[in-house]
Every structure is written in structure tokens, then in C-alpha cells.
Structure 1
Amino acid sequence: MQPDPNLTACTESLPTAKFDYRLNNIFRLHELPVSCIVMHPFRDYLVSCSEDRLWKMVGLPKGNVILTGSGHSDWLSDCCFHPSGSKLATSSGDSTIKLWDLSKGECILTFAGHNHAIWSCTWHSCGDFVASASLDMTSKIWDVNSERCRYTLYGHTDSVNSIEFFPFSNTLLTASADKTLSVWDARTGKCEQSLYGHMHSVNDATFTPRGHILASCDSRGVIKLWDFRKLIPIVSIDVGPSPGNEVNFDPSGRVLAQASANGIIHLLDLKSGQIHKLVGHESEVHTVIFSHRAENLYSGGSDGTIRLWL
């Protein structure tokens, strides 16, 4: 356990919630769909992963390519930064997790052990563990220092589609095609609680920056918010029937963005309950993320582009 710097955010200046984003630029980075975008922890860099088996690091706001990583033998599904920003983890349809040294742009470690494609990966805040979620219905916790699997998490009855560490803790959140969310203790590998309420496959789930609220989205476009302290549902919002592919909060925790298969980005105002729509993609939106101060929004789609919204 570590102190969570986000918990002091209430006494510091938080970015103002913003909804009036406009499409500003299009970065044509990949030949095939973009599956994931992540922001560097503290620099103006962005990494995108694609079904073309490549990840690319670009400088912002111009979108110039700084690094290109190749080594996976199948499509990339997700990526996440080491807390220091010096390393990157990537997950792939080739059933492996790869760790990359960004100073060299080289793969330094490969974790193999899943029986099917890996959909998602997350790095613990201490930097010593990476967790992965797979189509094989399991999740795994990998020890970076000993280079082995520490635990395999059993319990879901269908594909595990996303995984994320609760900020600065040993708690893991998974979302599954079995229509449930599960909360795990990473120290024991045991499921502590399952959350029921979705009627369809849960594609993604995430925490607010301060961690007190969960958001999840499913394959029929339903977004659910959950009270993480009480582990009970707060509200359900239907923006379907197109699938919701990913959800992410802005740094203030007041705005939730959802990437939709119908090409729309939905912005949910948690204070008023209003939904704002960003229209600008010509095809499915797979991933959406806010910049560090929420001045910008970045989205990636099935046409291989990343779009900058100001």
C-alpha cells in the first residue's frame, strides 16, 4: 500500500470539467484499427497500440512519431506505462505480455502463460507487478523482478475483457463477458466481491482518479456507475444499442467519456447527468482518453487514426 496523491486533490486546484471539445487534428499512425491509447504519466507523450502489431509513441500536440515498437506476432490489445514512465507493458492476441525499455525502444521481458488472447494489462503503482486479463477466462499477476506468474485469478466464466489496479492499492478490478465485475485482492489472488447488474458482456471498467466511483460499459451501450466504498450500483445510463468499447474519467473525476462502436464519443456529466456527444469519427471508436489537465481529448478508431479534440 502507498499513499494516494489523488486523495489530496480536493485541497488543490483541479481542472474544470469541459464538454465543448472540437475536432482539431487527425493523426494517421496505423494501417489497422487503433485498440488503445495511453498518456505518459507526466510528459506530453502518447502511446497507441494497433491491430497492425505495432505500438507507437508520439509527441504532443503535433503527433510526431518518437518510437515504434514491434515484436508481437499478433494484434495489440492494450498497453500501460510503468509509474516512472520509463517502461511500457503491452498485451496481445499472441497470448503474451511484453515489457519495453523506452530509453532503447527494446523489449526487455516477455510473459507467456495465458492460453488465449490477452485483452488488457495494468501496472501496479509500485512498478513491481503487472496484471493481465485474457480470453481464457483468467487473469494473472506477474512479478517483474522474479519474471514469473505470482497468481492466476480464477472465477469468471467467460472472457475477462479488462483489468485495472485500484489507485495505489493491492485491489484489482476485472470486467468480463460473463456480465459481471469482480474485485480481487492481489496479495492473495482471491475474489473479494462480484458486482452484478449488467445484462450483457462488460467490455471495460475503470476508477475515478480518487477511486471512490467505478464506471463500466457493456456490449449494448449501457454505462453503469458504482459506489466502490459500498460496492453498490449508483446509476445506469443507456446510450446504446451500439456497444461501449471503453470508458475513462477526466482528471477531475466529474466527466466520463465513453468510446462507442457507432463512432460517437459520449461525455457524461456526473454532476448534472447530462450527456454530450462528440461526432467526428467516420467509423467505430475503440478508445478515448483525456490529457493530464483535460485541455484535450484523444480518441482512436477502427480506421487506424487518432483524433485530437480541443
Structure 2
Amino acid sequence: MAEEETAAAAVSGAAFSLQNDCKDDYQYEEVSTDDDFSLQEDDDDLSKVLQSIQEQTEDAQISASQSVLTSGKSVSEIREAMDDFFCNFLDRLGMSRTLDCFQTEWYELIERGVLTVDDAGLVPDVYTRNQQLETENLSLKKDLENYKCSVDKTEQALLKMQKERDFHRMHHKRVVQEKNRLICDMKRLKAHYASYEPVLKELSEKYQNTLTQKMLTSLERDKAMGQVTGLQAALESLEFGYTKQIPETKVGHDCTRKKGFEGPTQKALREARQQKFLVVASSSCDPAEDAEKKGKRDLKDSEFPVDPEGTPDFEHAKEHTQPLKSGQYQLSSIVKVHDFAVSCLALHPRKSIVLTGGDDRLWKTWGFPDGNILMTGEGHTDWLSGCCFRPSGTQLVTSSGDTTVRIWDLSRRGCILTLRGHSRAVQACFWHSCGDFVASASMDGTSKIWDVNSERCRYTLRGHKESVNSIEFLPFSSTALTSSADKTLSLWDVRMGLRVYTFQGHVHSCNHATFNKKGDTIASCDSSGVMKLWDMRKLVPILSIDAGPHPANQVAFDRSGGLVALASSEASVKVLCLAVGQLSVLQGPRVEVRCVRFHGQDHLLSAGTDGRVCLWTRAQ
């Protein structure tokens, strides 16, 4: 009984120590009235655990008292065997020889019948009582160990719950404080912005008044200038005896050239004239309309070149037909040109200058191979998609996602002409070899032929069902090649705006198509990485190579026409040697390659999405 009381006292003492261990040194700000919700739940759980422990202790005490009473009754009723008592006694004392002698003599007397069990008598009650107490003592010790383990687990669970409670309380308090701070900032910003509304309204009224006054002034000035011009013409006609004719201004497709300041009145008049003469000035792909307008053609319009019979006479025919040199291309240097992805790449026709355009809305010219930036042009409001030098090398053209095509003069260091007419992003642009025409391809499914001299669109090429991704002129001819997302390539006669032939064979969107220098072969690639070669004379496919599964972005011939380079989204440039049918892979930086160009016989340029241009040199 003393041991049971000791165990109960130990359990109650452990419970008391757990109850007094809840200390909270953190000083919290007052957040809300529901702050102690989690603490109340923790205290309830602890009280339930302690109550269950006390109930178990009481049950153990009751069972112990019942076992004592039961054992008291059984002492007088149970007849213990005397031989078992002596055997156990001797075995406990370690008297093995005496035990053997006793068992031999005992069982011998029983077998003879000399001694019976009743003659031996009963085992003393003290011995039986001691055995029972010892058994109960062992049981109580085991229960005490179990209670201690339960108390330890409860204490650990309590500590864990206290830590979680403290963590969630601090997190909740932090969130509430952040919310209050954000609410205060929002109120302050609303008040701050509200203070600007009267100022903005006042400035808007001033701007409208100023614009109205400016327009009135411009109208008066234009009226006065018109009167002065009329008077001067009348005076000259009176003096020289004839009437001087004022030349009529022809308004073409929506394009503007920087010639000086243009006021709002002049701009409004120009837009009115454009709407008035839109039918006469805008281009169309309908041959009947073009035939009707042929007599009303702008005097500044350029003449389309006449296709020569046979193979064109190139200026450097020997250079274009040089035999292919042996050797593999190796990465020689990397030039950082743009901050964002490089989307187009072009070479100067006469000098070692490279032109690149990127997603940073800039075009840059830089020297090859040192990479020194020579000129930077800005003016587009969206990413650049294409660029090309004029054959003379004095000007260049760029296309952009802002739906415009711009012509830049390198000597003036600025944009001299902006061509507008596409309804969606312009995907590519190309300059004709005669230097008088520029072609553009757009995501609106059309291509346009622009006359640089008359500054208007001569033809709109309609026929593709989806986005037109590239456009290119056959050198020294009036034939244009387009590739489209409708999986086809098309040949066009730009003199009449008609489609001559359609190449079909790709099963995915065509991303790019180009001629070789001789003009007898076409290379094209699609979004699944398939590259195809087509015979320009027979209008049939020659070769198809699957370089996928990653998309192929651009293809390019070298001057000899024996090598074809492919810019792949697999972060590599793939070069096909047509003579041996071998496809080699050039691994550079692990980025998507957007464009590729051959530079002479020994160099290859590729540009990717990291804004860098890789220079590859042929190993001898």
C-alpha cells in the first residue's frame, strides 16, 4: 500500500509540475478579442489527460484492495502442497544437493505409501501472504513505469502544443499588423491620388484650350498662306502671260516621311485627303483594279524589273559558285549585342558590318568580327522581327510587332520613312535587289509590296489563310517567296500581285523559306524541325530532313549553295552538307537559336534568346 501511495503521489506531482510549466514571456500587442482561442483548447486537452491519469490511478487502487481481500479469503481455503513449499525454499537458497536428497526421499516414501499428502499439513499463511504481496508489488511497479511513460509523453505533447500555439499566435499577430499597415498605406495613397484629380482636370482643360487656339492659329495661317500663294500665282500669270499650275499632291498608302514639323491642321487635312483618295491611292491584289488604275499611276512609282531569260547574270558569279571547302565549323567568339533576345540578323552587302534587331526594340550595327557597336536605332514601340540592308548599303529597313515598317538612312542617323498598313504584327521584311521596293509579311495573313520612291503600297498579296512568317525576293527578278503558318510556300509575281505557284508538303507551320544564290533551289523549315529543299525549276521537293522535334526558326544557304544552316530551338545550329548528305550539329550556349547567316566562305553567325551572337569559323 505504501508503494501504491508513492506511485499516486508521483503521478499527481508530475501533473502539478506540468500545470505550472506554462510560461509565456512574449509581450503581445492586443490584436482581437479572440486571441486566446487556441490556448483554451490546449488547456482543455491537458485537463482531460490529467483526469484520465487520475481515473487510472483510482482503478488500480480499487483493484489492489479487491485482490487483497480475495487473497485473504483464499489463504484458509487453498491447500498448498508442502513438497512445493520445500522445493521452492531450497531452490531459492541455492541448496541443490539438499533439494535432490529431499525429492528422492519424499517421492520414495510416497510411493511406498508410508507418507501421504495430508500428513504433511498446510503451508503457513505468512508464506502465501508474502507471495501475494510480492506479486502485487511487481504489478504496481509495472503500472508506475507505465504512468511515468504516459506522463513523459503528455509533457512532450504539451510542450509541442505550447510552441505551436506561440508560433501561430505570433504569425497571426504579424499578419494582422501587416494588414493594418497596408490599410493605412492604401488610405494614404487614395488621399494622395485624390489630390491630383483637380490638377489633372485643370491641366486637361488648359491643354484643350491651347490646342483649340493652336488649331485656330494654324487655320488662319494656312488661309493667309493660301491667299498669298494665289496672289503670287495670279501675279506671275499676269506678268508672263500664262497660268502657273500648282502640282497636286498624291496620297499613297498610309506612310509618312520626316520632312519637318507637321501641325494638327496639316495632319487633319492629310488624313482627309487619304480618306478621299483611298480607292485611287491604296494598293490591291485584284488585277482588274490594277488595270483600271494603271493610267492613274503615281508619277513617282518605280518600274518593276523585267525577269531575264535563263540564269541571272550576277556581278560576282565566280564568287557565288566557288567550290565548297572542307572542314567543320568551330565556335571562335561570342559577342554580347542586345539585352534581350536577338530576333533578326543581316549582313552589309559591301562592308564587314552586321545588323541585328532584338526584343529590346532596338537595331544595332556592329563591326565584324570585333563586335564594336557602330550605330543604334530606336523608334519602334515593340519587338523587331526583321531587318535588311539596301543593296547600296546606305539605308536599311526594319519590321516590328508594332505593325509598322521603317526605313532608316545611315547617313542621317534616323528614320526617314514609316510604312503603315498592316493590321497585326509584321513578321519579316526584305529589300529588292534593285533598291526601289520593300516587301513585308504580317500576321494578318497578307504581304505588301512597298514602293520606296512613291512611298506607298503597290500591291497587297492575299492568299494565305494564316500568318505570313517570311518573305524574300528572288535576286534580280519580280518573283517573291513567302512562307506561312498554313503549312504552305507561295511564289508571287509582284508586277501583278498574283500568286504563281504554291508548294505543299509541310505538315506543320512554315517558319522560314529562302533562295540560294543561284536561285534554283528553295530551303524551308517548319515548327516541328523538318527542313525541305525544293527545285525552283521543276517545282518539286528534292530533299526532306527531320531535324526535330524542336522547332526550326530559320534556314540559310552559303554562297556556294552546298551548305544549308538551320537555327534550331534545341539550342544548336545544324549544318547540312548537300554533297555528302551529312548533318552536323554545332553546340553553343544553351539557349534557343533564332537566326543564322553565312559570312563569306569561312564564317557562320548565329543569334539566340540571350542577346548574344556566336561567331563560328571553319576549321581548315
Residue in 1 aligned with 2:553?
A: 245
Q: Is contact 1:203–1:219 with CA below 8 Å preserved after alignment? A: yes
- Of Structure 1 and Structure 2, the greater helix share is in 2
Q: CA deviation at 1:140?
A: 0.3
* 1:215-226 correspondence to structure 2 within 5 Å: 215-226=523-534
| Aligned 1:68-217 pairs, distance under 5 A | 68-217=376-525
Matched, 1:300 2:607: yes
> C-alpha distance in 2, partners of 1:118/1:13?
34
Q: 5+ residue gaps in structure 1? A: none
Measured in 2, the distance between the counterparts of 1:121 and 1:250 equals 20
Cα deviation 1:122-144 (Å, max 9, x = unaligned) = 11111111000000000000010
Structure 2 partner of 1:46:
354
1:13: how far off? 6.4
Q: Would you say the 8 A contact 1:173–1:183 is kept in 2?
A: yes
Q: C-alpha distance in 1, partners of 2:469/2:333? A: 30
Aligned AA (1:304)? G
Over the residues paired in the alignment, what is the CA RMSD in angstroms?
Answer: 1.5
Specify the code of the residue in structure 2 equivalent to 1:16. Answer: L
Identify unmatched segments of 5+ residues in structure 2. Answer: 1-305
| Preserved contact between residue 18 and residue 294 of structure 1 (Cα < 8 Å) | no
Alpha-carbon spacing, 1:17–1:135, altered in 2? closer, same or farther (3 Å) = farther
Where does 1:263-274 land on structure 2 (aligned, <5 Å)? 263-274=571-582
Q: Tell me, yes or no, if the aligned pair for 2:320 and 2:560 is still in contact at 8 Å.
A: no
Change (3 A) 1:46 1:125: same
Structure-2 change in CA distance of 1:124 and 1:12 (3 Å): closer
C-alpha distance in 2 between matches for 1:2 and 1:98:
28
Kept in 2: contact 1:51–1:76 (CA 8 A): yes
**Contact 1:205/1:214 (<8 A) preserved:** yes
Contact map agreement 2:471 2:483 (CA 8 A) in 1 = yes
Maintained 8 Å contact 2:448/2:459: yes
Counterpart of 1:218 in structure 2: which amino acid? D
Cα shift readout 1:231-285 (whole Å, capped 9, x = no counterpart): 1111110000100000000011100000000111010111111101100121100
Q: Which letter does structure 2 place at the counterpart of 1:67?
A: M
- The normalised TM-score by structure 1 is 0.97
CA distance in 2, matches of 1:127, 1:210: 19
- 1:24 offset after TM fit, Å? 1.1
Identity of aligned residues (%): 54
Q: 1:36: which partner in 2? A: 344
Structure 1 CA distance, aligned partners of 2:551 and 2:313? 34
How far, CA to CA, are the matches of 1:150 and 1:11 in structure 2? 34
Contact 1:143 1:150 in 2 (8 A): yes
The superposition leaves residues 74-109 of structure 1 with CA deviations (integer Å, 9 ceiling, x where unpaired) of 000010111101100000000000000012221010
Aligned AA for 1:309?
W
Counterpart AA for 1:167: P
Aligned-residue offset at 1:167: 1.0
- Bigger Rg, structure 1 or 2: 2
Q: Secondary structure at the match of 1:103?
A: coil
- Cα deviation, residue 17, structure 1: 3.7
Deviation at 1:9, TM superposition (A): 2.6
Give distance in 2, aligned partners of 1:196 and 1:25.
39
Structure 1 stretches (4+) deviating beyond 2 angstroms?
A: 1-13, 15-19
Per chain length, whose mean CA-contact separation is higher, i.e. which structure has more relative contact order (CA < 8 Å, sep 6+)? 1
Q: In 1, Cα distance between the equivalents of 2:444 and 2:354?
A: 29
Structure 2 CA distance for partners of 1:12 and 1:41, relative to 1, 3 Å: closer
* C-alpha spacing 1:101/1:15, structure 2 compared with 1 (3 Å): farther
Q: Aligned partners of 1:8 and 1:103: how far apart in 2?
A: 27
The number of equivalent residue pairs is: 309
Work out which of the residue numbers 528, 541, 560 in structure 2 matches 1:233.
541
Greater share of strand: 1
Tell me if the contact between 1:166 and 1:172 (Cα under 8 Å) persists in the aligned partners.
yes
Where 1:22 maps in the other structure, the secondary structure is: strand
- TM-score normalised to the size of structure 2? 0.49
Distance 2:537 2:493 in 1: 15
